[in-house]
Amino acid sequence: MTAATMRTNLGDWENPPVIQDQVIAYMEQMGGAMILSDIYRPLGLPRYTVNRVLGRLHSKGVLSRYKIPVRLRQYDRCQGGALPDGATRQCYLYSFADEVVA
């Protein structure tokens, strides 16, 4: 499925279509599942904008998302480095859905 096909399924919304096209094209180029930070950091886009794009793509059925645990590195000043077992938080893993809901 191409970015143009997906854009026509989404209709008009508040972000310019170029941002949506960048996100979709990057996900197609990289292939596979990604988390939010894997997308917005290389593209240089604001996190909240990419999060909005991914949420909209998910609500339209273009993307599927799954909650996964992500381990964060916590810094400890006393030990002078990162703790091996830092905090764990839930994060969404996004991937393309098999069928697009019109």
Would you give per-residue pLDDT tens digits along the chain (102 residues)? 555 555 555 555 556 678 888 999 999 998 888 999 899 999 999 999 999 999 999 998 889 999 988 776 666 666 666 666 666 778 899 999 874 444
Task: Check residue 41 and give its pLDDT.
Answer: 92
Which domain does 56 fall in, by range? 3-96
What are 47's two structure tokens? Answer: 């996190």
Q: 81-82 and 75-76 as β-strands: parallel, antiparallel, unpaired?
A: antiparallel
Amino acid at 38: D
In a domain? residue 37: yes
Domain count within the chain: 1
Inside any domain, residue 63: yes
- Within a domain: 13: yes
Q: What is the pLDDT of residue 76?
A: 64
Q: What is the CATH number of the domain that holds 11?
A: 1.10.10.10
pLDDT at 87: 66
**DSSP-assigned letters across all residues of 43-96:** HT--HHHHHHHHHHHHHTTSEEEEEEEEEPPPEETTTTEE-SS--EEEEEEEEE
Residue 102 within a domain: no
Cβ within 8 Å of residue 33, ≥6 positions away: 66, 93, 94, 95
15 domain residue, yes or no = yes
